[in-house]
Amino acid sequence: MKGPELCKVTDNRLIAGGMYKLRLEAPNVAGNARPGQFIHIKVPGDRSRLLRRPISIYDACHKKGYVEIVFQVVGEGTRLLSAVKTGDFLDVLGPLGNGFSVSGDTRHLFVVGGGCGAAPVKFAASRFNFTGRTCFIGFKSGDAAYDLQEFENSCDSLLIATEDGSIGYKGLITEVLEDELKRNLPDLMLACGPVPMMKAIQQMAEKYRVPCQLLLEERMGCGIGACMTCACAVRDDEDGFIYKRVCKDGPVFWSREVMLDEA
Ligand code: FES
C-alpha cells in the first residue's frame, strides 16, 4: 500500500434503490487490489465524522487502472459520497487489509453475499477464475438488486433470493445455500453480508464441515492497524478469545475463529 492519493472519479451512478456504483481512476490501487480488500475514502464535506470510510472493492482492472466500489446511502457520509460527480477527486487509501485466500487446488467454490456484501464476493468470483463457482446473492427486494448481469458473468451458476420474492427464491439466501449444501459440498465458501446472515453461514459451515471465510465490515478509524476502533473477538488456541483488528488482521477471517456474538 502506498500513502493516500487523490483519485479521479470517472463514474458515480445509482444502480438500485439507494445503491451507488462509483468508479475511480486509481492505477496503483487497481494494480494491487485483491478480492476482499477495501479502500478507505475521505468523503469531501463530511462533517459527521472526521475519519475515512472503509468500502470493499467491487471490481479492479489492472490494465485499465480503475477500481469500483458499491455503497448504500445510509447516512450523511454516504449521501455526500453519492453526490460526488465525474471529474471530482477523492482522497483514497488502499488497497487495505487481507483479502480472501483461495488455494490453487480449489475446484468448487461457493460465494455468498447479502446486499452491499454481495459486492466483494462478486469480485472474488470473477477473480478466482476457474469453473465450479456458484454465486448466492440475497436482497430485500428486486429494487435493491444490482448488476445481476455482472454477477451472472462472474460465476458458473447464479442463485438469487429476495425477501419479498420479487426476484428469484422468496426468502433468505441462506435457505437457498442450505438446500444446495445438502446436495453438493464445495471445497470452500466465501461470504459477506449482514451479521445474522453471517451467523447462519458460520453455523452451516460447521454443520456441513465446509471451510469458510467471512469478510467482516466494521466501523474503522485509521484503517491501518493503529487505533483498535475495529477490534473483533477471535478464538484463541486455549478456548478463550483475543481481539484482532478487522482492518489489519482481516477483514477476512476463517469462520471457525471469528466470534460474531461478540461483534
Ligand atoms: Fe484503526 Fe483498525 S481502524 S486499528
Encode pLDDT of 197-228 as tens digits. Answer: 999 999 999 999 999 999 998 888 888 888 88
Cis peptide before 251 (omega within 30 of 0): yes
Pick the CATH number of 100-214 from 3.40.50.80, 1.25.40.10, 3.40.50.12160, 1.10.8.60: 3.40.50.80
Ligand 1 center–CA 178 separation, angstroms: 34
Tell which one of 38, 98, 220, 232 to mutate to probe ligand 1, the residue whose CB is within 8 A of the most ligand atoms: 220
User: Looking at residues 142-163, what average pLDDT do you find?
Assistant: 95
> How far, in Å, from the CA of 74 to the mean position of ligand 1?
22
Looking at residue 113, what is its pLDDT?
Answer: 97
Mean pLDDT score across all residues of the chain: 92
The letter for the amino acid at 209 is: R
231 lines ligand 1 (CB under 6 A): no
How many CA atoms, within 13 angstroms, populate the side-chain half-sphere of residue 117? 26
Q: What is the pLDDT of residues 10-57, one digit of tens each?
A: 999 999 999 999 999 999 999 999 999 999 999 888 776 557 899 999
Q: What is the pLDDT of residue 229?
A: 87
How far does the centroid of ligand 1 lie from the alpha carbon of residue 145, in Å? 31
219 C-alpha vs ligand 1 centroid, how far in Å?
9
* pLDDT over threshold 90, residue 60: yes
Indicate if the pLDDT at residue 81 is higher than 70. yes
- Cell 453526490 appears where? 83
Atom from ligand 1 closest to the CA of residue 226: 4
The owner of cell 465490515 is 217
Residue 118: its H or E element: helix 118-127
Q: Which residue among 224, 243, 244 has the greatest number of ligand 1 atoms within 8 angstroms of its CB, and so is best to mutate?
A: 224
pTM for this one? 0.94
Ligand 1 closest atom vs CA 222: 1
Q: Is the peptide bond before 95 cis (omega within 30 degrees of 0)?
A: yes
- Reply yes or no on whether the pLDDT at 129 is more than 80: no
> Distance between CA atoms of 70 and 85, rounded to whole angstroms?
15
Ligand 1 contact, 40 CB (< 6 A): no
Q: How far apart are CA 122 and CA 155, in angstroms?
A: 8
Nearest atom (ligand 1) to Cα of 225 = 4
- What does the domain layout of the chain look like in residue ranges? 5-96, 100-214, 216-263
- How far apart CA 63 and CA 66 sit, in angstroms, is 8
Q: Is residue 8's pLDDT more than 60? A: yes
Q: How far is CA 29 from CA 32, 60, 77, 119, 261, in A?
A: 5, 8, 22, 17, 33
Q: Selecting from 2.10.240.10, 1.10.275.10, 2.60.120.560, 2.60.40.60, what CATH number does the domain 216-263 have? A: 2.10.240.10
Q: Identify the pLDDT of residue 220.
A: 84
Out of 2.60.40.10, 2.40.30.10, 3.20.20.80, 3.90.1150.10, the CATH code matching 5-96 is 2.40.30.10
Q: Is 14 in the pocket of ligand 1 (CB under 6 A)?
A: no
Instruction: List the one residue out of 108, 97, 121 whose CA is nearest residue 190.
Output: 121
| Closest residue to atom 4 of ligand 1, CA basis | 225
| Span 175-200, average pLDDT | 96
Q: Cα(212) to centroid of ligand 1, in Å? A: 24
Q: Please give the grid coordinates belonging to residue 195.
A: 451479521
CA 53 / ligand 1 centre spacing (Å): 12
221: exposed, middle or buried (Cβ count in 10 Å: 0-12, 13-18, 19+): middle
What amino acid occupies position 162?
T
- Ligand 1 atom closest to Cα of 227? 1
Among 229, 244, 253, the mutation site with the greatest number of ligand 1 atoms within 8 A of its Cβ is 229
Residue type, 52: R
